Chains A and B, each alone.
Chain A
Amino acid sequence: MTAGAAPLVLCQGVGRNYGRGDRQLTALHDVSCSIQAGDRIAISGRSGSGKSTLAHLMAGLDEPTSGVLSWPALGRREELRPGCIGVVFQSPSLLHELTVAENVALPLEIAGAEPSRARERALEALAALDLESLAEQLPDELSGGQSQRVAVARVLATGPPLVIADEPTGQLDHTTAERMLDVLDKTCRALGAALVLTTHDARVTARYDRRWRIADGALETGERS
């Protein structure tokens, strides 16, 4: 954490409701927090507690219905992805018709990189995670763990200052999940990126120095020893 630097993410009384009228559902209410460069934060909570909603809001994938959400050190919401924030989802979220290398190069191409340069960076990212042998495979030919590691490589390729991982081990067995988290940690350290990770698994939470809890849409940021 860098004292006095602009936060990567700043939430001020953020809330998120779904639906209208009698059927309105409050997923998040009055959340205030900030993410600083280099932070490693685990957000835990039961299913439906609002973890993913908060992760998506921080990643700029969704908009709050109340409060103020900003990215002082990163820029406007429209400029966050793919360069400033990398997102790892619960499911691998690879495009089935592109090879592993093409999937990893895709965010770079979206950002405007030359295709040849994007491919070069993608292969480097895959090599860094020992995935180069999978470069020409199609996603349907990978295991769940391999797919998630490729998704992490995709983040690594763009080198963002903030990585948000929304239950990245939710569909993996314990051993594979451990390997996956190792990869994620390694990637973030290599990038010098802050990491925000949501999980309902206490063993995963235990890996991180800052642990936030969320229950019924309310966030508790008090750190536990």
Chain B
Amino acid sequence: MIALLWLRGLVTREPGPLAGVAAGTAAAVALLGSLGAFFTASEATMTARSIARVSVDWQMEVQPGASSSTVLDTVRGFPQTRAALPVAFASSSGLSASTQGAVQTTGSGAVVGLPYGYTRTFPGQLRPLVGAPEGVLVAQQTASNLHVAPGDAINVGRTGLPAVSTRVDGVVDLRQADSLFQKVGALAGSQPTAPPDNVVLVPLSTWHQLFDPVLAARPDLVHEQVHVRLSHNLPTTPVDAYDSVTGEARNLEARLAGAGRVGDNLGAALGAARGDALYAQLLFFFLGLPGVAIAGLVTLDVARTGGERRRREQALLRARGTALGQLLRLGLAEAAAAGLAGVVAGLAAAFVVGRLAFGSSSFGADPRSTLLDLGLASLVGLGIATLALAVPAWRDARSLTVATAARRVRRGRAAPAVVLVIAALFLAGAAIVYTLVQRSGYELVLAPEGVPAVSITYWALLGPLFLWLGAALLVWWLGRVLLVHGRGALGTLLAPLAGPLAGAVAGSLSRQHRLLARAVLLVALAGSFGVATSVFNSTYAQQSEVDARLTNGGDVTITEPPGAAVPPSFSARLAAIPGVAGVEPLQHRFAYVGSDLQDLYGVRPSTVVGAAKLQDAYFSGGGAAQIMARLSSQPDGILVSAETVKDFQLQPGDRLTLRLRDGRSGDLVPVSFRYVGVVKEFPTAPRDSFLVANAAYVAKATSNDAVGSFLVDTNGAPPAAVAARVRSAAGPSATVTDIGSTRRIVGSSLTALDLGGLTRLELGFALVLAAAGAGVVPALALAERRHRFTVLQALGARSGQLAAFIGAEAFLITAAGILSGALIGAALVEVLVAVLTGVFDPPPAALAVPWRQLLGITGVLLAAALGAAAWTLAASKRSTIDGLRTG
């Protein structure tokens, strides 16, 4: 009952601190709730994308001696199976074709037998390029090597048997060749490094006609599989989905009792996403929890503004015989009231924020996880309210007397030196971690293929944490030391603002060093949160854009089909299309480096840097412009991958002879190049080894100037619209892709994180926290001390002099807070990007600084501080007489 009376009194007389604690709790709950729900939803998206990326969930390898029909029946009877089809593989001794009067031959290849309906059942496996989608199909590169098109005949070599001739019905792109030709059951690392270069796909019945005789003689050259599509009713997180799928795979293998082994493509995709899911959790940890901690600190400071009132009242209650337990219950009642109000408001805000920032579909993955997230957020909120109200009440109740309760200002004493020592130790720790993560070989998250456990390099997480703690302690310590010992300098600094009162103002600030150092720290932490999140997110967005551009090449890219001989002059036709600002032709060839087949790109060094927006990070030993200038000055120059440099022990200037297919004869001819530099990434190029050379030299040496792709710059025009116009000009055989579509599908499943929404959410909270740190908390603290402004007025202080007292405090808090916040934020984001480098693809060469956002944060901080000062000035003018009566 007394608790209710107490609360009623607080709400009616002194609602500020209580409402402040409720608001701070609400901010923490809303941030935690919405971020938690966001990341849960992102994990669900990662799982969904991983599933969607896999065409054949399982490739069940029929073991030697086992019956393929028995395996097929068992698989079809497995509860999770939705579709299962038999597929057969055979090694061919070689392929050949006779076209345009010349015979083309290849090395060994693979012949795959597919049953009728395979492409409909597993639609992502093959992409028809030309001709029929079923029948005898040749892979894109094979068609290029053999110079064949639909209708041409090819000879398929069989070991120990005569070659057989068959007619090509279509050319296809094998979209998941790596997994299709995997060695099922092989340990990670012992898989073939690349799928076969030459592949023919034939109807399963044809395959049996061709290779059943081989099976009898050379069973080692043939094998059979059952390709399986599973039910995708899986848990929403990649980790749980991975456990479920791999468990099912082991279960099926047990049922087959050694007759089959599962090549678990779905498990592998989910396994890879586990790492990304962990990265998402770490992002949540690094980007969300500091915000929650700051919200907690703001709340503690808001609660502290009501501390004087509480201490006086508690002391009086104790003087009247109130027991310690009763005082504690009053504190708990305050905490419960503010905490519950904050939790309810926070959950509502989380719901609204989630809807606004991510859309309804992204708010929580499922009811269970949403409830879990929000429940956890509520617990944290109640904890903050308890820390803010109940704990100080309990502490004061134990130690206070009426006399000590009346004490407001204690003598200035700088912060103990041990704080500086601890801060220095934390910062040194952060520096060590930062140095270690810069080393090569560092990976924060390791999710090895085929291994259930995912490991995290936990010590790396200490880097940002140590930096945050060390910087916070240092700012607090420096604030107190400078305020206590720098009073003279402060007076000089404030002289233009305060005139003859500068000394008194400086003295007043100096003796409030505890309060002010805390306020500066709060603004600094809120500011650093804003700086770190916005720079981190901008850098992430920048790298996602780089990734998309690396994959797509240009705003719009036209990729010509294999064998097409589109000349560079086609650029002029494309350039005439509305919305096309520039066209860059890019040759694409295959070249043998020794026995290794690599992609070769022929470029125009003078124009490709700008047209393809080449980044310095794509090259080693110089920037993009520098390396391309080097290539331009050496007509037979070539850029190779670091791996090739290592494999072939190349030195700059070394000659490198490649085998390229000649445009006229169709034969592989040796072409001599000079090694001039190292390329790591290149638009449209694969992630492994490739080569970049001068297009003019390649065209001359191979008598072929055919362009592989055209990179179109739209200069701001909508890429999708330009792509639609380009498509009709490029013809049906060319593939036209725009950067927007590529952005949506490119990269790792981490792109499931809607960084746009995350940025809005975090910036919103950063602004709220910054405004609270720079405005609300100082305003409440100033209101708490409004008596002094009343006294100043009673002593005759003019408005300007009053403003000097108030403004000096606001200026000090804001200026020192913004400066410290910018420094901490800059250091923090540097360490965060280094520690979380695996999040970025490719790793950033430099941070992207969103100046507008940062200026916005600074503006909000300044406006909040200015608003708080103006409000306090106005309020203190209004309350002169009341203030004097209450003393």
Contact yes or no, A95 B508, CB < 8 A: yes
Minimum distance in angstroms from B429 CB to a CB of chain A: 37
1/0 contact string of A35-74 vs chain B (CB within 8 Å): 0000000000000000010001001011000000000000
- Does A94 sit at the interface, judged by CB under 8 A? yes
1/0 contact string of B310-333 vs chain A (CB within 8 Å): 000000000000000000000000
Contact yes or no, A109 B501, CB < 8 A: yes
Contact yes or no, B795 A82, CB < 8 A: yes
Contact yes or no, B794 A61, CB < 8 A: yes
- Does A111 sit at the interface, judged by CB under 8 A? yes
Question: CA–CA, A96 to B793, complex, Å?
Answer: 15
Contact yes or no, A140 B408, CB < 8 A: yes
Contact yes or no, B884 A110, CB < 8 A: no
In the assembled complex, which residues on chain A have CB atoms less than 8 Å from the CB atom of B409? 96-97, 138-140
- Does A25 sit at the interface, judged by CB under 8 A? no
For window 100-120 of A, CB contacts with B under 8 Å fall at 102, 105-107, 109-115, 118
In the assembled complex, which residues on chain A have CB atoms less than 8 Å from the CB atom of B881? 56, 61-62
- Does B115 sit at the interface, judged by CB under 8 A? no
Contact yes or no, B795 A106, CB < 8 A: yes
Contact yes or no, B511 A97, CB < 8 A: yes
Interface class of chain A by DSSP: loop
Question: CA–CA, A89 to B798, complex, Å?
Answer: 20
What are 24 of the A-B contact pairs (CB < 8 Å)? A52-B885, A56-B884, A62-B881, A80-B796, A82-B795, A90-B885, A92-B887, A94-B791, A96-B409, A98-B504, A99-B507, A102-B504, A102-B507, A106-B792, A107-B796, A110-B501, A110-B792, A110-B798, A110-B801, A111-B796, A112-B500, A115-B504, A139-B409, A154-B795
- Does B512 sit at the interface, judged by CB under 8 A? yes
Contact yes or no, B796 A82, CB < 8 A: yes
In the assembled complex, which residues on chain B have CB atoms less than 8 Å from the CB atom of A105? 504
Contact yes or no, B797 A89, CB < 8 A: no
For window 798-836 of B, CB contacts with A under 8 Å fall at 798, 801
Interface centre among B409, B503, B504, B511 (most CB of A within 10 A): B504
- Does A214 sit at the interface, judged by CB under 8 A? no
Contact yes or no, A140 B407, CB < 8 A: yes
In the assembled complex, which residues on chain B have CB atoms less than 8 Å from the CB atom of A107? 795-796
- Closest 10 A/B residue pairs (Cβ): A91-B887, A81-B796, A82-B796, A97-B511, A96-B409, A96-B408, A107-B795, A97-B508, A140-B407, A115-B503
Known contacts A80-B796, A106-B504; A90/B887 CB under 8 A: yes
In the assembled complex, which residues on chain A have CB atoms less than 8 Å from the CB atom of B792? 95, 106, 110
In the assembled complex, which residues on chain B have CB atoms less than 8 Å from the CB atom of A118? 500
Question: CA–CA, A107 to B504, complex, Å?
Answer: 11
- Does A12 sit at the interface, judged by CB under 8 A? no
Minimum distance in angstroms from A106 CB to a CB of chain B: 6
Contact yes or no, A93 B791, CB < 8 A: yes
- Does A9 sit at the interface, judged by CB under 8 A? no
1/0 contact string of B869-887 vs chain A (CB within 8 Å): 0000000000011001101
- Does B53 sit at the interface, judged by CB under 8 A? no
- Does A180 sit at the interface, judged by CB under 8 A? no
In the assembled complex, which residues on chain B have CB atoms less than 8 Å from the CB atom of A81? 794-796
Question: CA–CA, A82 to B884, complex, Å?
Answer: 16
Question: CA–CA, A62 to B795, complex, Å?
Answer: 13
- Does B411 sit at the interface, judged by CB under 8 A? yes
Interface centre among A52, A97, A106 (most CB of B within 10 A): A97
Residues of chain B at interface, number, CB under 8 A:
32
Tell which of B503, B508, B794, B798 touches A93, judged by Cβ atoms closer than 8 Å.
B794
Q: In the complex, which residue of chain A has the Cβ closest to the Cβ of B791? A: A93
Contact yes or no, A89 B796, CB < 8 A: no
Contact yes or no, B884 A61, CB < 8 A: yes
- Does A188 sit at the interface, judged by CB under 8 A? no
- Does B406 sit at the interface, judged by CB under 8 A? yes
Extra contacts besides A96-B409, A105-B504 (8): CB < 8 Å:
A56-B884, A61-B880, A83-B796, A87-B794, A92-B887, A98-B504, A109-B500, A166-B884
Q: In the complex, which residue of chain B has the Cβ closest to the Cβ of A118? A: B500
Minimum distance in angstroms from B785 CB to a CB of chain A: 8
In the assembled complex, which residues on chain B have CB atoms less than 8 Å from the CB atom of A95? 508, 788, 791-792
In the assembled complex, which residues on chain A have CB atoms less than 8 Å from the CB atom of B503? 109, 115
In the assembled complex, which residues on chain B have CB atoms less than 8 Å from the CB atom of A111? 796
Contact yes or no, B500 A113, CB < 8 A: yes
1/0 contact string of B407-444 vs chain A (CB within 8 Å): 11111000000000000000000000000000000000
Minimum distance in angstroms from B141 CB to a CB of chain A: 80
1/0 contact string of B754-770 vs chain A (CB within 8 Å): 00000000000000000
Interface centre among B407, B794, B795, B797 (most CB of A within 10 A): B795
Q: In the complex, which residue of chain A has the Cβ closest to the Cβ of B785? A: A96
Contact yes or no, B796 A93, CB < 8 A: no
Q: In the complex, which residue of chain A has the Cβ closest to the Cβ of B411? A: A138
Minimum distance in angstroms from B755 CB to a CB of chain A: 47
1/0 contact string of B493-507 vs chain A (CB within 8 Å): 000000111111001
Question: CA–CA, A139 to B408, complex, Å?
Answer: 9
Minimum distance in angstroms from A222 CB to a CB of chain B: 28
Known contacts A98-B507, A109-B501, A109-B504; A140/B406 CB under 8 A: yes
Question: CA–CA, A94 to B790, complex, Å?
Answer: 11
For window 45-70 of B, CB contacts with A under 8 Å fall at none
Question: CA–CA, A85 to B792, complex, Å?
Answer: 14
Q: In the complex, which residue of chain B has the Cβ closest to the Cβ of A87? A: B794
Question: CA–CA, A52 to B887, complex, Å?
Answer: 13
Question: CA–CA, A94 to B409, complex, Å?
Answer: 12
Question: CA–CA, A17 to B210, complex, Å?
Answer: 112
In the assembled complex, which residues on chain A have CB atoms less than 8 Å from the CB atom of B499? 112
Question: CA–CA, A96 to B507, complex, Å?
Answer: 11
For window 775-797 of B, CB contacts with A under 8 Å fall at 787-788, 791-797
Contact yes or no, A115 B880, CB < 8 A: no
Question: CA–CA, A52 to B795, complex, Å?
Answer: 17
Question: CA–CA, A91 to B883, complex, Å?
Answer: 11
Minimum distance in angstroms from B667 CB to a CB of chain A: 92
Interface centre among A61, A105, A106, A112 (most CB of B within 10 A): A106
Question: CA–CA, A140 to B501, complex, Å?
Answer: 22
In the assembled complex, which residues on chain B have CB atoms less than 8 Å from the CB atom of A83? 796
Q: In the complex, which residue of chain A has the Cβ closest to the Cβ of B883? A: A93
Question: CA–CA, A62 to B502, complex, Å?
Answer: 28
Question: CA–CA, A8 to B338, complex, Å?
Answer: 53
In the assembled complex, which residues on chain B have CB atoms less than 8 Å from the CB atom of A99? 507
1/0 contact string of B390-409 vs chain A (CB within 8 Å): 00000000000000001111
Minimum distance in angstroms from A7 CB to a CB of chain B: 21
Contact yes or no, A110 B887, CB < 8 A: no
1/0 contact string of B598-635 vs chain A (CB within 8 Å): 00000000000000000000000000000000000000
Interface centre among A89, A110, A111, A118 (most CB of B within 10 A): A110
Tell which of A97, A110, A115, A139 touches B795, judged by Cβ atoms closer than 8 Å.
A110
Question: CA–CA, A111 to B410, complex, Å?
Answer: 28
Minimum distance in angstroms from B512 CB to a CB of chain A: 5
In the assembled complex, which residues on chain A have CB atoms less than 8 Å from the CB atom of B801? 110
Question: CA–CA, A106 to B801, complex, Å?
Answer: 11
For window 491-542 of B, CB contacts with A under 8 Å fall at 499-504, 507-508, 511-512
Known contacts A61-B881, A140-B408; A98/B796 CB under 8 A: no
In the assembled complex, which residues on chain A have CB atoms less than 8 Å from the CB atom of B508? 95, 97-98
1/0 contact string of B846-882 vs chain A (CB within 8 Å): 0000000000000000000000000000000000110
Interface centre among A93, A114, A154 (most CB of B within 10 A): A93
Question: CA–CA, A83 to B796, complex, Å?
Answer: 9
Minimum distance in angstroms from A107 CB to a CB of chain B: 5
Question: CA–CA, A43 to B797, complex, Å?
Answer: 27
Question: CA–CA, A106 to B796, complex, Å?
Answer: 10
Minimum distance in angstroms from A12 CB to a CB of chain B: 22
Minimum distance in angstroms from A83 CB to a CB of chain B: 8
For window 460-512 of B, CB contacts with A under 8 Å fall at 499-504, 507-508, 511-512
For window 632-677 of B, CB contacts with A under 8 Å fall at none
In the assembled complex, which residues on chain A have CB atoms less than 8 Å from the CB atom of B410? 138, 140
1/0 contact string of A107-135 vs chain B (CB within 8 Å): 10111111100100000000000000000
